[in-house]
Each structure stands twice: as structure tokens, then as C-alpha cells.
Amino acid sequence: MKRIVSLILVLFLLAAPAARAEGPALSVAAPSAILMEKETGEVLFEKNADEPGFPASVTKIMTMLLIVEAMENGAFTPDDVVVASERAASFGGSCVYLEAGERMSVRDMLKCIAVVSANDCAVAMAEYMCGSEEAFVKKMNERAKALGLAHTHFSNCSGLFDDGQHYTTARDVAIMSRELIRHESIKAYTTIWMDSIRDGEFELSNTNKLVYWYPGCTGLKTGYTSTARYCLSATAERNGVEYIAVVMHGETPESRNKDAETLLSYGFANYRLIPLSDGRPLPVLPVELGRKRTVPLCLDGPAYRLAPKGGEPDYSLSLPSSVPAPLKKGQPLGTLRVTVGGEPVAEVPVCAAEDVPRIGFGGIFAKLALSLVGV
């Protein structure tokens, strides 16, 4: 009887799915962190990534995103001039000491926000774009909702104040960071180590020290208050792969930076992007009783997938010999399977690239007649 029970237990364990690991065994001191790859959005590591908290100046990732999107949509140019209001000039904390009535280009305003986390410039840009910071913050929250940031709410554009209604999570910061670095133009600002404004009279030094010493660092934004502690969204790119490491509420700037470096280095050391296509054109597929004899094919889904390093990808196409009409564009017709080292990486739907209507009764009759006479 014991042998039977033991055998059943063994079979049960073999059939049961393996427990899903929460992430690699990395030493991350911060209470909340996440590592995300930009192209795919895949998460490689997370620790309390959905725990809401005050983000301090990491808030300005959303501020910069709205500025860059508006600029690229033609609302204004980098050379347009912003006039600082008395309210903008009154802001302290990290700032460049704007004076009421001071004129500064959008380019320099954005540079100050990205490099030294200037609260006064963030407010000046919010007022320039929307008339008031309150109206700008409304747009911040609308954009957060559009990005699906379920645990984020903004009450200001700088991250200087915590009123209990200003919060986000490591995961949401990673998502908004991913959206920001899709705009390559922002990296002209976030990768600056040292610069100046006011004709060289006021020097700027990046608050994100990884820009100086971490290979491939592309930004992105630091944050600190006594409430939020030390926060950072760090991005880096090597060999066409870019990672986002978000560290929230670290105890010291050194531990925050070390956590970000640990996460980024783990991604670069262990993973790579592989294309979900071998580059060869897909075949056309014969169509039965269609107004066209064949249908072109296309792949549905992302162009790349993140996979462990080692081995070359192998591609296997599974398609029927023919398909019956009617067909709709985007209709799945087969599968492209991708493996690396024999391990499955992805299954990509192969779909109809265009509509193919079915021939009518007259067309079917004519087709049958032609087949009878051997044509």
C-alpha cells in the first residue's frame, strides 16, 4: 500500500507545473525594484514592484514625456522661449534659481529638468504648455491612465510635495520610463554629464551619476526627499538592447546606484534580443474557392523576444497546404515556432495579410465546369 501511495505521489509531482520563480537571486537592498527590457516590455526581476509610494523627482519622467511628445507633435520647438512666472521662480529644492520674468529656451528648460531636476523649470514648462500647473497635472494623470498605470496618481509636476495623493510604483515608473526612451531625442538631455546655461554662467552636473561611470547609460531620472528616500529610474543600452532598472526608496544614494547597476548588469550578462523571424519572406498560401488563388502572409506580434544567451535561434513554420475562403486580414492561419538550444522561446501567429472573399455560386459553377473539361 505504501508503495502505491508513494508511486501516486511521484506521478503527481511529475505532472504538476513547476513553481514560477519570482526573479533571479539578486541582492537588491531597496524595498521596491524592477528590471524591464525596453523593446519587449518583459520583466526580468521584480521586488514589491506594485507597492505605491511617493516618487519624489522621478515624477519628472512623466513631466518630460509630456514635453517631448508636445514638442515632437509641433506644439513648440526647442528654440521657443519660456518666460518664468513668479510662481515658478518661487520654487526651491533642486532648481536653477529662475527669476520672475526670466526668459529661457525650451531646450534649456528641458536640459535643466533632465540634468539637475530643476523644480522651477518643471513648473515653468507646465505653465507654458497648459496655462497652469493644475491643468498640466491633469494631463499627466490622463497620460498615466492611457499607459495603463493602475497605481499612479500625480498632484504636482515636480515631485517636490507629498500630499498623500501623489504616488506611483516601481512597475509604473518602468512603464513610463519605457515610453519616454522611445523618444530618442530625450537622450540628448538625459545623457549630459556636465553642461551650463545662461551663457556658461550657471553650471549643471547630472544628479544621475551612472551617466558618468556606467557603460551605456542613457539616463534617466533620480529623486530624493526625506519621505521618498532615494529613488532612481536608470536606463542603459548595449548592442541594441536597452534595460530599465527602477529602484525606489533606497536608504542611501550609493545603495540606490548599486542596486540599479546590479539589475542592469544582470540583464546584459544573461539575456539578448532575438528576432522572431529568420529574415526570409513568408510563402503565399493557396486559397480554395477564393476570389484570389493565394493569400500573402504576415506575422502577428512583436518583432523580438528576450531570450537567455547561448545558442542560435531555430525557426519552424507550421502551415496547412491550403485554406478555404473567405479570409479576413489578420486571421490566424499557422504558427512560427522559435527555439534556442532546443528550448521554446516563442510561438508567433502567422496570419492572412489581406482579405480574400469567397467566390459566388456562379464562380463555383464555372470552376467546376472548367475542371470537367480539363482546363
Which pairing describes strands 217-225 and 202-205: parallel, antiparallel, or unpaired?
Answer: unpaired
57 is catalytic: yes
Which of the following is catalytic: 117, 155, 177, 233? Answer: 117
User: Cβ distance 29 to 229 under 8 Å?
Assistant: no
**Of the listed 47, 60, 139, 221, which one is catalytic?**
60
In the β-sheet with 343-352, what is the strand arrangement from edge to edge? 297-299, 343-352, 332-340, 313-318
Active site residue 117: yes
What is the spatial distance between Cα 119 and Cα 112, in angstroms, rounded to a whole number?
9
| Identified catalytic residue from 32, 38, 47, 57 | 57
- Encode 357-371: b = buried (16+ Cβ within 10 Å), e = exposed: eebeeeeeeeeeeee
Nearest residue to 344 (alpha-carbon basis) of 315, 368, 370: 315
State the Cα–Cα distance between residues 49 and 66, nearest whole angstrom.
24
Q: Are 371 and 321 in contact (CB under 8 A)?
A: no
Question: Do strands 81-83 and 103-105 pair parallel, antiparallel, or not at all (unpaired)?
Answer: antiparallel
Identify whether the C-beta of residue 331 lies closer than 8 Å to the C-beta of residue 320.
no
Residue 60 falls in the annotated catalytic set: yes
State the DSSP H helix or E strand holding residue 115, giving kind and residue range, or none if neither.
helix 106-116
Residues noted as catalytic: 57, 60, 117
